[in-house]
Amino acid sequence: MQNIIITGGAGFIGSHVVRLFVNKYPQYNIYNVDKLTYAGNLANLKDIEDKPNYHFIKADICDFETMLDIMQRDQIDGIIHLAAESHVDRSIKDPFTFAQTNVMGTLSLLQAAKAYWESLPEKYEGKRFYHISTDEVYGALQMTHPEGIVPPFTTKASSGKHHLAYGEKFFTEDLKYQPHSPYSAAKASSDHFVRAFHDTFGMPTIVTNCSNNYGPYQFPEKLIPLFINNIRHRKPLPVYGKGENVRDWLYVEDHARAIDTIFHNGKIAETYNIGGFNEWKNIDIIKVLINTVDRLLGRPEGADMDLITYITDRAGHDLRYAIDSTKLQKELGWEPSLQFEEGIEKTVKWYLDNQEWLDNVTSGDYQKYYDNMYKNR
Ligand code: NAD
Ligand code: DAU
């Protein structure tokens, strides 16, 4: 495979995937196709923007003609599709944009890939359409526990390994989709379209569903970067409900490594769940963030606990997510590389050391990067 489109490469996870592919595979041409919505930030890719195998194309995935032009002109063999509207709170306020980008955008990309690949003599041979999705499509898990044991408790996943968990059930690949938010409903719909293009037209597709990512370059509307920034500036930390909801956290570079493994070695038409068996209640993570920021800034550890402010719960707030990634670990040998404690320390340090990046995002200046750097290239 030579020519690969990565959509949404200026976003949080996409930028890590682009960086990994550009550095690891100098023989591939990587085309980062991104519309640069509020979530796209080309400064995320400063370190690789001059590499000869990296190409940025500002375009909307919903624009079928442009997608087809790019595929024909650059003779695209593989697509790793991350572009999406990704923030649940925004989807509650504006579901239309989520249906447009996540559903219609994915469909337009699929149709363009179909039109281009079916026009070639070899058709789908050696081609791949890899769709990145979320664990949120499975809905929410309960916080059940064996009698007498207060969660978190140690349990055995199908991997045979023991993990700390807040309930006995995990998200496995065979579960029925039960999305609750407009965001997850739109992602679920896009997953169905991708699978339908395999089943109907024989397109070589793969879908993966990953748990919550954290790490550098995440837009500071999401829990971890928002709260790190607020703690630094001693601003209130708006905790939804009682902070009891559970999320399963994975360091973003581990997700990018999983994407690399699956893109190259995953089986066509398969689904793989990606996660590191790392469940945390929001309130416990928030306390770790406060202690870590305080310590790294030389404040007494825990001094900023009074910033915690409980607010009205998110509408339809899913109680617990927990991924069972046994299939990926057993079949393709992927494992997370970082313990959460190391990952969170690295992440907090990164945001504290890169205050300029954060300030540019919060001030809106990051949106001038394209005009300054690219428009006249
Ligand atoms: P993000 O919001 O940080 O980035 C999304 C990127 O897509 C941005 O660069 C944006 O400009 C681009 N984009 C949006 N609409 C576009 C359009 N119409 N055309 C072209 N580009 C467009 O998102 P993220 O958190 O990096 O998530 C990336 C993908 O991974 C999404 O598909 C998301 O559903 C999925 N995912 C995210 C997480 C997570 O924890 N963040 C976990 C699992 C799966
Ligand atoms: O599970 C994967 C998903 O994780 C991805 O598909 C989404 O794109 C990504 O945004 C993320 O969704 P969440 O809703 O879980 O992430 P968020 O960072 O918005 O919230 C994490 C938890 O923290 C959630 O239970 C809500 C809570 N929260 C969040 C914010 C922003 C708060 O209590 N206060 C806040 O201000």
| Calculated CA dihedral for residues 218, 224, 227, 231, nearest 10 degrees | -100
Q: Is 12 in the pocket of ligand 1 (CB under 6 A)?
A: yes
Q: What is the rounded distance in angstroms from the CA atom of residue 196 to the CA atom of residue 190?
A: 10
Q: Which ligand 1 atom is the nearest neighbour of the CA of 9?
A: 9
Measured CA distances, 154 to 38, 187, 191 (Å): 41, 31, 32
Q: Cα of 27 to ligand 1 centre, how many Å?
A: 26
Q: Is 215 in the pocket of ligand 1 (CB under 6 A)?
A: no
Q: Is 223 in the pocket of ligand 2 (CB under 6 A)?
A: yes
Q: Is 19 in the pocket of ligand 2 (CB under 6 A)?
A: no
Residue 377 is predicted with a pLDDT of: 65
Q: Is the pLDDT of residue 370 over 90?
A: no
Q: Cα of 374 to ligand 2 centre, how many Å?
A: 32
Q: What are the tens digits of pLDDT across the range 43-82?
A: 999 999 999 999 999 999 999 999 999 999 999 999 999 9
The reply to whether the predicted model has a pTM over 0.95 is yes
Six-digit token string for 198: 């395999």
Which active-site residues does the annotation give? 135-136, 183
Residue 376 is predicted with a pLDDT of: 62
Q: Is 219 in the pocket of ligand 1 (CB under 6 A)?
A: yes
**Domains of the chain (ranges, CATH numbers):** 1-139+177-210 (3.40.50.720)
Across residues 188-198, what is the average pLDDT? Answer: 98
Return mean pLDDT, the chain.
96
- Strand 212-214 relative to strand 237-240, pairing: unpaired
Residue 153 is predicted with a pLDDT of: 84
Report which protein residue has its CA nearest ligand 2's atom 21. Answer: 223
pLDDT class of 263 with cuts at 50, 70, 90: very high
Q: Cα of 82 to ligand 1 centre, how many Å?
A: 5
Q: Is the pLDDT of residue 149 over 90?
A: no
Give 303's DSSP letter. T
Q: Cα of 222 to ligand 2 centre, how many Å?
A: 6
Residue 124 is predicted with a pLDDT of: 98
Among 194, 212, 213, 214, which Cα is nearest to 204's?
194
Residue 314 is predicted with a pLDDT of: 98
Which residue has 């980062």 as its token pair?
A: 32
Q: Which ligand 2 atom is the nearest neighbour of the CA of 181?
A: 14
Q: Cα of 8 to ligand 1 centre, how many Å?
A: 6
Residue 1 is predicted with a pLDDT of: 65
Q: Is the pLDDT of residue 214 over 80?
A: yes
Report which protein residue has its CA nearest ligand 1's atom 29. Answer: 82
Across residues 329-357, what is the average pLDDT? Answer: 96
Angle between helices 340-353 and 355-363 (to 10 degrees): 70
Q: Is the pLDDT of residue 211 over 90?
A: yes
Which ligand lies nearest to the CA atom of residue 103 in the structure?
1
Q: What are the tens digits of pLDDT across the range 271-319?
A: 999 999 999 999 999 999 999 999 999 999 999 999 999 999 999 999 9
Residue 127, exposed/middle/buried by CB under 10 A (0-12, 13-18, 19+)? buried
Q: Which ligand 2 atom is the nearest neighbour of the CA of 239?
A: 33
Q: Is 241 in the pocket of ligand 2 (CB under 6 A)?
A: no
Q: Is 187 in the pocket of ligand 1 (CB under 6 A)?
A: yes
Among 175, 168, 144, 170, which Cα is nearest to 154's?
168
